[in-house]
Amino acid sequence: MGRKSRKILLSESDKIELQTRSNANSLDYRYVVRAKIILLCAAGKSYKEITDELKVGRSAISKWKSRFISNGLIGLQDQPRSGAPATYSEYDKARVIQKACSRPKGGYSNWSQRRIAKECNMSQTTVHEILKRHDLKPHKVEYWCGKSTDPEFEEKMLQVVGLYMNPPENALVLSVDEKTQIQALDRSQPELPLREGNPKRLTATYKRHGTVSLIAALSVHEGEITANTIEKNNAETFLKFLKKLDRKYRNKKLYIIADNLSVHKQKDVVEWVNKKRKITLIHTPTYSSWLNQIEIWFNILTKDVLKGAVWHSKEQLVKQLMQYVKTYNKTRAKPFNWTYKGSK
């Protein structure tokens, strides 16, 4: 074992401050390490133990220990360098980070760099540099799938993934869901087409021609889409679509994956499925409709058809949706390379 470091006696206030710094996310990492060095020295750790834990050299341990003994907490700050002094202290920078990581008041949901700069009495450029250095982006929002509350999540998830990865022989796995409230939007002026130097342009004002809903099934291992436009998303419509799938794939055993929407579990639906030996209806776990591969295709549909489109009538929208399904099946239908790359 290495030589024991001479123990440092900490006041209660210094100990609290050092512990706060050692756990801080808003400080530069070098200040976090310095606080940890002093805490470990105070705990009687040897130089070798501190080196192994913090991956720092003996000279760094000796340097910050000596500075702390001589000057206390102030000794852990960087000494002034030659040249112009820094405009903002570490405290000022920490204020910017704290603002960006907190919820704003006054009815706002998100911070902008301009408002952070105003609150901290800094230029927007300075705020931008501080946030960039710490990889903070208060303007950006990402979405993630929360943990399912379904007590049978693992069992249901494994059943769905098992059908994707190793389907039963002479069986077809179908992923089914509805995409509702597709708006048939028209523009008050004709669209200006894409030209060199200019994107396609649409007027900001529009007219509504009603909405359309689409129910679709993806044949997981072939990539074929079966779809109908529907007026109402209810159990009757869902059952009618199941019967269509039954007729279409007459000689196949069907495993149909659907989410937990109430219409998918309605009494008439359950009774009809129970009478059909060739059909097994499987529901994804609660809050886990992302397991349903048809959602991937709906995303493709949105990009290919719905985004930035113009329809002069509801009928035109219906016609285009069904034409797209036909084209997709003819030219692009193939299984998705469905993988999981997260942690186990």
Which tens digits make up the pLDDT trace of 132-157? 888 888 877 776 666 777 788 888 88
- What's the rounded mean pLDDT across residues 102-129? 88
DSSP letter assigned to residue 252: S
For residue 231, give the nearest of 181, 266, 267 by alpha carbon: 181
Is 204 or 219 the better-scoring residue by pLDDT? Answer: 219
pLDDT, one tens digit per residue, over 213-270 is 999 999 999 999 999 999 899 999 999 999 999 999 998 999 999 999 999 999 999 9
Is 196 or 222 the better-scoring residue by pLDDT? Answer: 222
Query: Is pLDDT of 297 > 60?
Result: yes
DSSP letter assigned to residue 226: E
Helix, strand and coil content of the chain, in percent to the nearest 5, comes to: 45, 15, 40
Instruction: Show the tokens assigned to 140.
Output: 């950006």
Question: Residues 6 or more apart from 221 whose CB is under 8 A from it?
Answer: 167, 172, 173, 335
Judged by average pLDDT, the poorest of 25-34, 60-69, 79-88 is: 79-88
Instruction: Show the tokens assigned to 78.
Output: 């960087």
Q: Where does the pLDDT of residue 110 fall: very low under 50, low under 70, confident under 90, or very high at 90 and above?
A: confident
Alpha helix (H) residue ranges in 214-312: 235-248, 267-275, 294-301
- What's the rounded mean pLDDT across residues 90-105? 85
Give the pLDDT of residue 81: 61
DSSP β-bridge partners for residue 212: 182
Give the pLDDT of residue 83: 59
Q: Where does the pLDDT of residue 86 fall: very low under 50, low under 70, confident under 90, or very high at 90 and above?
A: low
Name, of 22-26, 71-75, 306-310, the range with top average pLDDT: 71-75
Give the pLDDT of residue 344: 47
Q: What's the chain's average pLDDT?
A: 86
Give the pLDDT of residue 199: 65
Query: Residue holding tokens 């689409």?
Result: 214
- What's the rounded mean pLDDT across residues 68-85? 76
DSSP letter assigned to residue 200: -
Query: Is pLDDT of 2 > 80?
Result: no
The CA dihedral of 31, 33, 35, 38, to the nearest 10 degrees, is: -140
Judged by average pLDDT, the poorest of 76-85, 120-129, 203-212, 257-266 is: 76-85
Query: Is pLDDT of 36 > 70?
Result: yes
- What's the rounded mean pLDDT across residues 197-201? 63
Give the pLDDT of residue 258: 96
Q: What is the pTM of this model?
A: 0.61
Residues 22 and 35 sit within 8 Å (Cβ to Cβ): yes
Q: Where does the pLDDT of residue 121 fall: very low under 50, low under 70, confident under 90, or very high at 90 and above?
A: confident
Q: Where does the pLDDT of residue 1 fall: very low under 50, low under 70, confident under 90, or very high at 90 and above?
A: very low
Q: Where does the pLDDT of residue 296 fall: very low under 50, low under 70, confident under 90, or very high at 90 and above?
A: very high
